[in-house]
Structure 1
Amino acid sequence: MPSGQQARAQAAAITPGTHGSEAEAEQAPPVDQVRALFGGHRLSPGQRRIAQFLIDHLTEAAFLSITELAERVGVSQPSVTRFASSLGFSGYPALRDALQPIALSAIAGSPEGREARRRNELQAAVDAEIENLASLRRSLASTDQILDIGRELARSAPLTVLGLRISASLAEYFAYAARRIHPDVRVVTRGGSVAYDALLQSREAGGTWVLAFAMPRHSKETLAAMKAARGAGLRIALITDLALGPLVHEADVSFTAGTGSRLVFDSYSAPGVLSAAILQAMADADPERTQVRLEKYEQASDQYDFFLED
């Protein structure tokens, strides 16, 4: 684990190739140096609260004791210790040692500049999501895999959509839209024996595929449900932010879409677009059925006056 001196060197390394006063002139802003300490680490929502507090109150927070920091953020002292360990530090004192010289440089800087950077935190989160979408765009340069899975999901009757915990919202969105073009879509948003029963019933009814969503933090329940689906004889298509790991290993085919992690809770622009692309592939796989079902839905929505007039 890094010492305070090693961590300071890590933060300074984001502006390589400079020396002496030239290095000081071109050194990254203190807030960016702090973010460099957090970068590349998957933090829980509670840990992101600690990280955001350190960013927003750097000049004060870097000199707080672990008790004071825990009280200010509203978390337990063990949570602060686990946060420091998740960043690769031996404990909170080592993290504080890394933060203090950055805080001192911030004290010497412009308060107006610090406030402007803090206000731009939301823009930085949007920029990160744009990069996730750009990465997804590159991965879709070939559409063969999307078209293939669209055909398979369209043929599976019933089609089961699995999403537990935070992934439930994505599963509900997909299932809601898929029901417009598919005759039998079943959504599973509860784990344990409830998920097993639903998956078994789907297979017994003739289903062949499950579309599973697995977003951070990845739950053991999701892995268990995927194993249950495979044990029941169902094949699995997975949408996740992971390229490797036990969830991907359990799937027959997987699609990767990054999640935004700059805010307290993740955002899901890329997984949402990927879901819509698969829905499009399903619609195109059986255009006649799609057209008939969409027309019937429009007739029903007019008859029962579902929507407000634009």
Structure 2
Amino acid sequence: MPSQQQARAQASAISSGSAAAEDEAAPAAPASQLRTLFDRPRLSPGQRRIAQYLIDHLTEAAFLSITDLADRVGVSQPSVTRFAAAVGFSGYPALREKLQAIALGSIGGPSVSEETGNELQAAVDAEIENLENLRRDFAAPGRLIDIGRKLSRSTPLTVLGLRISASLAEYFAYAARRIHPDVRLVTRGGSVAYDALLQSHEAGGTWVLAFSMPRHAQETLTAVRVARGAGLRVALITDLALGPLADEADVTFATGTGSRLVFDSYAAPGLMASALLQAMTDADPERTHARLEEYEQISEQHQFFLKD
């Protein structure tokens, strides 16, 4: 016969096992369910405001009429209808039914903060996942190394980034100018972009590096088509491996963007840009060394930077 101590240990083990099974069967916290429901990279900033309001005020918002919800968020009723369609529902009534099911299922459950942390922490978690995916892609870096070599040989090299993608293009072009003799940055669309692309080809350029982040600009697609029509090849850094832009590009590097906040964050695309810069430096190490040494001398001479 087991001792009292053994009996207590067995009871504790049974209790722990039951608790673990209950935890595994328990549904995700309401905020997690909503973030999964609303995690669409093509939501506009206005639509993300609606999503954030629903996450923050679920138990109340799930029972609001479309008029009341629009008033609370500060958007129009058609905006709420478009939001419902954007996240996969036939209309606001279908979305509200789903919200009510989540809200009613959360009564008596653990708090959002206990399960998921706050919205900023969730945004960081999403970016960590994007970087983990990129790390797996880098396990076979042959394609990236090859494109880095081709970008290095293109003189001039054109870097294209319109609207919100301009910041990534500016970063890449700024760094690339340290190691490449002729980098041309295009951050304006329309005829300005056309002129720059045509001139780049006439000057002997062979490649364009284009950035396209959500929401994808129509003028970016047009510029890529102009580049291809002029005889330039296009390497594209974007968030989607499929779609019109990827179809037009010669090679696409698809990396996830952080879409948890009102405006996207670009940890993975920024790292992809840095990796391509590294591939360019490795493609011509002698030129890289000479140009960096020359730049250091100039920057020291003219005191570009503060001394540590």
**TM-score, L = length of structure 2:** 0.88
CA drift of 1:209 comes to 0.6
Report what 1:5 is aligned to.
none
Contact 1:179 1:185 in 2 (8 A): yes
Within 2, Cα distance between the matches of 1:36 and 1:271? 22
Report what 1:178 is aligned to.
176
Report what 1:92 is aligned to.
92
Report what 1:8 is aligned to.
none
What amino acid is the match of 1:85?
A: A
Within 2, Cα distance between the matches of 1:146 and 1:70? 46
* Structure 1 residues without counterparts, runs of 5 or longer: 1-21
Report what 2:55 is aligned to.
55
Tell me the percent identity.
74
Within 1, Cα distance between the matches of 2:273 and 2:23? 46
Mark the CA change 1:233 to 1:95 in structure 2 (over 3 Å): closer, same or farther.
same
Within 2, Cα distance between the matches of 1:170 and 1:104? 43
Contact 1:258 1:271 in 2 (8 A): yes
What amino acid is the match of 1:108?
A: G
SS in 2 for 1:261: coil
Contact 1:41 1:87 in 2 (8 A): no
Within 1, Cα distance between the matches of 2:24 and 2:200? 63
Report what 2:121 is aligned to.
123
Q: In terms of mean alpha carbon deviation, does 240-249 or 41-50 score higher?
A: 41-50
Q: In terms of mean alpha carbon deviation, does 178-187 or 128-137 score higher?
A: 128-137
Report what 1:11 is aligned to.
none
Mark the CA change 1:93 to 1:159 in structure 2 (over 3 Å): closer, same or farther.
same
How do 1:95-174 and structure 2 match up within 5 A? 95-109=95-109, 113-116=111-114, 119-174=117-172
* Structure 2 residues without counterparts, runs of 5 or longer: 1-21
Within 2, Cα distance between the matches of 1:175 and 1:57? 43
What amino acid is the match of 1:49?
A: R
Contact 2:41 2:257 in 1 (8 A): no
CA drift of 1:101 comes to 3.0
Report what 1:300 is aligned to.
298
Mark the CA change 1:36 to 1:283 in structure 2 (over 3 Å): closer, same or farther.
closer
Within 1, Cα distance between the matches of 2:200 and 2:41? 38
Q: What is the root-mean-square deviation in Å for CA atoms of aligned residues?
A: 2.0
CA drift of 1:25 comes to 6.9
Among 241, 247, 251, the alignment partner of 2:239 is 241
Contact 2:89 2:95 in 1 (8 A): yes
Within 2, Cα distance between the matches of 1:32 and 1:119? 10
Within 2, Cα distance between the matches of 1:273 and 1:28? 31
Per-residue CA distance 1:115-172 (angstroms, 9 max, x = gap): 4557522122111111111111111212221111111111111100001111111000
Per-residue CA distance 1:86-130 (angstroms, 9 max, x = gap): 1222211221122123223434345xx234557522122111111
Per-residue CA distance 1:201-240 (angstroms, 9 max, x = gap): 1111111110011111111111100000011111111111
Within 1, Cα distance between the matches of 2:131 and 2:153? 29
What amino acid is the match of 2:108?
A: A
Within 1, Cα distance between the matches of 2:71 and 2:221? 36
What amino acid is the match of 1:167?
A: S
How do 1:26-45 and structure 2 match up within 5 A? 26-39=26-39, 42-45=42-45
Per-residue CA distance 1:7-31 (angstroms, 9 max, x = gap): xxxxxxxxxxxxxxx6997222222
Who wins on radius of gyration, i.e. which is larger? 2
Within 2, Cα distance between the matches of 1:289 and 1:165? 32
Contact 1:56 1:118 in 2 (8 A): no
Q: How many residue pairs end up in the alignment?
A: 288
Report what 2:3 is aligned to.
none
Mark the CA change 1:68 to 1:206 in structure 2 (over 3 Å): closer, same or farther.
same
Report what 1:274 is aligned to.
272
SS in 2 for 1:67: helix
Mark the CA change 1:233 to 1:96 in structure 2 (over 3 Å): closer, same or farther.
same
Report what 1:226 is aligned to.
224
CA drift of 1:54 comes to 0.2
CA drift of 1:85 comes to 1.1
SS in 1 for 2:303: coil
What amino acid is the match of 2:282?
A: D
Within 2, Cα distance between the matches of 1:286 and 1:24? 53
Contact 1:41 1:86 in 2 (8 A): no
Within 2, Cα distance between the matches of 1:35 and 1:166? 23
Within 1, Cα distance between the matches of 2:130 and 2:25? 32
* Deviating 4+ runs (over 4 angstroms): 22-25, 115-119
Within 1, Cα distance between the matches of 2:70 and 2:96? 13
